[in-house]
Amino acid sequence: MLDRLYSVWLIAQRDWFEATTTKMFWLSALLMPVVTFALAIFGMVAATIASTSVSVGSYYVIDHSDGLAQEIRNEILRSDLTNFMFVLADRDPRSDDEEILRDVHEATQTSTIPVLVGSFVEHLQHPQRDFTTTSGDSLAKRFSVWWSNNKDRIIELAPNVSFAQYEEILTPNLSEQELISLLKDEEILGYFIIPETFVSSSENAKFVTEKILKQDLANWYERFATRVIQNKKFAESNISRETAMWLLQRASFRTSRAIASSRDSRTDSTAGTASSAGEETTKEVTAWEAAGEFAPIVYQYILWFLVFIGATVLMTNTVEEKSTKLVEVLLSDLDPVELMDGKLLGSALTLLTVVGLWIFLISLPVMMGSGAVIAFLPQAEEFLESGVLNSIFNPLHVINFVIFFVLGFSFYGYSLSALGSVCSNIREAQMMATPINLIAIVPLILMFPIALDKTGPLATIMSYIPPFTPFVMMNVVAEIDWLNYVIIFTWMSACTLGVRWLAKQVYTKGILLENKPAGIKGLVRLVGGSS
């Protein structure tokens, strides 16, 4: 028995040494965390840009209603004026500012912004007048002239005004055919069709565009159209908008986590005194803490990556050694089962070496240089204090990862080693491994649904299905009781030993076969004892 274990260890040591003494191994191992981190940063930046980017261009409105388009224009104008007034109110006047800007700033200090906006809207609302001939020196008139002739200056001071992104084409009576031509030529982003019954029903309202996945213009215009329709309905019901908003205010609850009560507050006589004495029994959950609940997904993804890639490499090495006749030399001194066990152990040690290196590279800078990280990136302080890293490096998750890495890699490694032993080239091995590869993808697809309901029927059922068990257990380990954990561990261990027994039957006979067995029936005959 000891001689057999020693032979297995020698094969494992040989494979581990050959893998870890190459420059490519260390280059790949060192670059992997860097590349992964860079891809994660790139993904977050790309997602942020995609979610916040807006189209810039013109649009047109076909209005079949009784002047709703004009009311929407005025509502957009009111919003732009309000934004601009707040900018001027918070901004100290400068020496190079126009006189009208200084006057409006002074007015914002002595009058409310809604009152100012109301007076300006009276002069600017659509349809607009010709302000170049406007006489008089009232603030509203002078500002209206300035507003109509200084669009670039307005955008410079308040970049969030609507016409910085969108500008409505006011050419009257354009037909749909003309608008479609403008769309095809990319001269407009799209056009809106407001039906006659838009106030009562939006069934026939349309937004026509070529970029159907880019909905920022439609969402923006819809927000103002909704406000106008709501105001009309409120007016018809003789209810002010403020009252209506108060009536429609939604109830909201802040998600909090329960805090274990102290011993002094556990008795019935003092049950109600803890909160009155100022002792907190709950703690509001931050966004980072909520993100920490998904920390096990990191382990599941890494486990899937290591098991899938490692088992595939193990199968490939088996095929290469068989095709180059190296396996015949090895089998002159070894039992086929010893060779199979030794190569699997060597691959497992290599992968664990990579994981250990990754953990070292990731944790050392964070733990040793957290102060420097905060100084360079102040936003990271909340992340470091949130406990997300503690969730990721939780000893329970680490130990569980090692246990099910061994079981998962053995399960898939023995399976693919057996398939590789009966194939004479890589193409044959890849074809035979396709069903196993498809099975291995399932837990990756269900990773997030299981994370959202770790005690649900999906997670419970899949935790007892051997091909999925190692990956599912990364997610549910913190939610499962110890009895079920032991049962699942025992069941997975028994299934892994069963797979090893089947792999042994195939590997022992297949490793020296010249021709691949004919499909599933050929493999069954190998397991049954006939070649």
Share of the chain above pLDDT 70, in %: 77
**Three-class SS of residue 58?**
strand
**pLDDT per position as a tens digit, 113-171:** 888 888 888 888 766 655 455 455 688 888 988 998 999 999 999 988 998 889 999 98
Q: 350 to each of 26, 30, 290, 320, 410, how far by Cα in Å?
A: 11, 14, 34, 19, 14
Chain centre to alpha carbon of residue 241: 38
Grade residue 297 by pLDDT with cuts at 50, 70 and 90: confident
- Which H or E run includes 421? helix 395-421
Amino acid of residue 338: E
Strand boundaries in 47-108, DSSP class E? 57-63
Cα–Cα dist 424/333, whole Å: 22
pLDDT at 224: 93
Q: 454 to each of 172, 357, 506, how far by Cα in Å?
A: 59, 30, 37
- Are the CB atoms for 108 and 185 separated by under 8 Å? no
pLDDT at 317: 87
CA-wise closest residue to 444 among 468, 473, 464: 468
Grade residue 404 by pLDDT with cuts at 50, 70 and 90: very high
**pLDDT per position as a tens digit, 435-485:** 888 998 998 888 888 888 888 889 899 999 999 999 999 888 878 889 999
**Three-class SS of residue 168?**
strand
Q: Say if residue 491's pLDDT is above 90.
A: yes
Q: Say if residue 275's pLDDT is above 60.
A: no
- Which H or E run includes 166? strand 166-168
Q: List the beta bridge partners of residue 283.
A: 257
Cis peptide before 395 (omega within 30 of 0): no
Amino acid of residue 168: E
For 253-279, what is the mean pLDDT?
54
- Which H or E run includes 132? none
CA-wise closest residue to 398 among 487, 477, 319: 477
Grade residue 413 by pLDDT with cuts at 50, 70 and 90: very high
Q: Say if residue 289's pLDDT is above 70.
A: no
Question: Between 300 and 133, whose confidence is greater?
Answer: 300
* Alpha-carbon torsion, ordered 21, 23, 27, 29, to 10 deg: -20
**pLDDT per position as a tens digit, 514-523:** 666 655 666 6
Q: What are the tokens at 299?
A: 């382990």
Tell if the pTM clears 0.85, that is, is over it.
Answer: no
Residues in the chain: 531
Strands 256-258 and 282-284 come out as antiparallel
Residue 224 CB neighbours (<10 A): 19
For 179-195, what is the mean pLDDT?
91
CA-wise closest residue to 139 among 114, 97, 96, 108: 108
Grade residue 257 by pLDDT with cuts at 50, 70 and 90: low
Q: 98 to each of 101, 103, 259, how far by Cα in Å?
A: 5, 9, 58
